[in-house]
């Protein structure tokens, strides 16, 4: 099943590469310095969005916006 999932979504998966990892490290360090530790998974998602110039669709905009990531909450009316 794991292989099947990877095959099915191969074109839509973004790896945690060196750029994403470095961006995550910077975000985590800045958050820690502000006294606002960033949850690891939120930090990695934010770093991926920033590294690939993407907008993150989420209800949890607070953690991502404080990282400087572009967010969209599809559950809120414009």
Supply the CATH number for residue 28's domain. Answer: 3.40.50.1010
* Total structural domains within the chain: 1
Q: Is residue 77 part of a domain?
A: no
Task: Give yes or no for residue 2 having a pLDDT over 80.
Answer: no
Range of the domain at 24: 3-72
Burial of 53 (0-12, 13-18, 19+ CB in 10 A): exposed
Q: Is residue 50 part of a domain?
A: yes
In the chain the beta strands, taken as DSSP E runs, fall at: 55-57, 70-72
Residues 37-60 have pLDDT tens digits of: 999 999 999 999 999 999 999 999
- Report the alpha-carbon distance of residue 30 to residue 37 in Å, rounded: 9
Q: Is residue 44 part of a domain?
A: yes
Q: Is residue 78 part of a domain?
A: no
Task: Give yes or no for residue 25 having a pLDDT over 90.
Answer: yes
């Amino acid at each position: 099943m794991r292989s099947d999932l990877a095959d099915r979504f191969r074109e839509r998966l973004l790896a945690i590469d060196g750029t994403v990892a470095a961006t995550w490290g910077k975000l985590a360090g800045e958050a820690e310095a502000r006294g606002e530790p960033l949850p690891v998974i939120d930090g990695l998602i934010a770093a991926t969005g920033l590294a690939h110039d993407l907008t993150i669709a989420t209800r949890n905009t607070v953690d991502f916006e404080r990282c400087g990531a572009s967010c969209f909450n599809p559950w809120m009316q414009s």
